[in-house]
Amino acid sequence: MTQELSGVTIVIFIAAGVLTILLLFIFAKRQIMRFALRSRRGPHIPIGHDAKKSLKKEIERRIEVIPRIQYEPQLISDSRYILTPGGQAPPHYYRLKAVDDVKTLEAEITRYDNCLKRHPSENLRAYLLTTLATPLNGSGQRLIHQFCDLYEHARHDPTEFGDEEYQVYTRLFLKLMDAARLLKSYPSSRKSSPSRTPIKKNVETKRNILEPRMRPPEEQILTGSRPNTLTVMTLDNSETSV
């Protein structure tokens, strides 16, 4: 009897141990899945579930494009919201104006060619060196570098950027604006646009070559005589001549 009880006890202990291990495994798995879902950036449900494959790919493509979307808005739409009557300009006012002046310069450059528009992710220094190289005739690289240094100072540098720095920045800005207005006089410096249609050359030459073939002989025009040969269409047997 004691041996039978000891055997049953052993079986019970083994079953309890297996059950405990199984419960711990299930609990650990649930906790791991829970932390994985909480740390995951994506949604808990697959995107485009039960949708067509083409639609699912299009949804994923548009979601992947979102981090690459960049936009540089105008910072000062109305200075009345920043400047108080009779008060002093806040420290960040000149920084905002410096950034908005760059948008004004870009608008002046793209005024003559939309292909010269700068993307927000494009480097401003490289953009100005490329677009204003011809009007400045190679001598304005130092001017562009000084302007871009002050622009980066106004946008990223924590040191003071006040009225004095902005006045220097404005003088450089006006010189670059004058160079941008000269783009109209340098059509070769503008990038070729795919929307432009090529100019057809030698049209007059081809027209002059074809015109003598289409003209009747001069004798026929002067005498008013009819041509010597006349093509007559033969009638079918089924038709009656009139």
148 close to 125: Cβ distance less than 8 angstroms: yes
Cα gap 214→163, rounded to integer Å: 76
157: nearest Cα among 144, 175, 169, 170: 169
Q: What global pTM score does this model have?
A: 0.53
* Tens digits of pLDDT across the chain (242 residues): 555 567 778 888 899 999 999 999 999 999 888 887 776 666 666 777 788 889 989 988 998 888 888 888 888 877 676 776 777 778 788 899 999 999 999 988 888 877 888 888 888 889 888 888 778 776 678 888 999 999 999 988 888 898 899 999 999 999 999 888 888 776 644 443 333 334 344 434 444 444 444 454 444 444 444 545 444 444 444 444 43
- How open is the CA angle 27-33-37, to the nearest 5 degrees? 145
154: which 2 tokens? 């106004």
If you ran DSSP here, which 8-state letter would residue 70 be given? -
Q: Which residues contact 175 (CB under 8 A, 6 or more apart)?
A: 140, 143
For the chain, the structural domain boundaries read: 7-40, 71-182
The number of residues making up the chain comes to 242
182: nearest Cα among 109, 101, 114, 116: 109
Cα gap 33→44, rounded to integer Å: 11
Rounded mean pLDDT of the chain? 75
- Give the C-alpha distances (Å, rounded to integers) separating 211 from 6, 169, 194, 206, 226: 121, 64, 34, 9, 21
Cα gap 160→157, rounded to integer Å: 8
The per-residue pLDDT for range 25-82, each reduced to its tens digit, is: 999 999 888 887 776 666 666 777 788 889 989 988 998 888 888 888 888 877 676 7
